[in-house]
Structure 1
């Protein structure tokens, strides 16, 4: 069985699929986010729907994770 590597992970070629639609991905047509892999179309669609990459994928927004010393505010 053929293998391929993406983002330092090894996949069977037939198992490297979009998390959303299960379409087979290639090294030239995928978008990684938080260890998940998406086809470019669904990555962009999920981004547009929520307005930012974090919310579109069910993760906490970067601005909410930012640690700021209150004395700087």
Structure 2
């Protein structure tokens, strides 16, 4: 079997495919994002859908996580009362 090494992962040649469309990828036709691999077309399409790398790919935006954390830090503990 042939293998492909991409972004610290090793795949069978037939298993190296786009997460969105399942199209077989090559070393010249893929884009990694957070340990997942996309064909260039779908990577660009998913980015354009929401205009960022988080929401377009089904994740919560970093800025939203920061806002939630800062709100939690601002709330007083019940033990302080």
Following TM superposition, where does structure 1 have runs of at least 4 consecutive aligned residues deviating by more than 4 angstroms?
Answer: none
Hey, what does 1:39 align to over in structure 2? 39
Determine whether 1:56 maps to 2:53.
no
Q: For residue 35 of structure 1, report the CA deviation from its aligned partner.
A: 1.1
Note the aligned Cα RMSD (angstroms).
1.6
In 1: Cα distance, 2:31 partner to 2:61 partner: 18
Structure with the greater alpha carbon radius of gyration: 2
State whether structure 2 residue 11 is matched by structure 1 residue 11.
yes
Unpaired stretches in structure 1, ≥5 consecutive residues: none
Q: After superposition, what is the alpha-carbon deviation per residue over 1:4-27, rounded to whole angstroms, capped at 9, x for unaligned?
A: 100100000111000111111011
- Structure 2 match to 1:23: 23
Q: TM-score, normalised by structure 1?
A: 0.84
Q: The residue matched to 1:45 in structure 2 has which SS?
A: helix
The number of equivalent residue pairs is 70
State the distance in 1 between where 2:13 and 2:65 align. Answer: 35
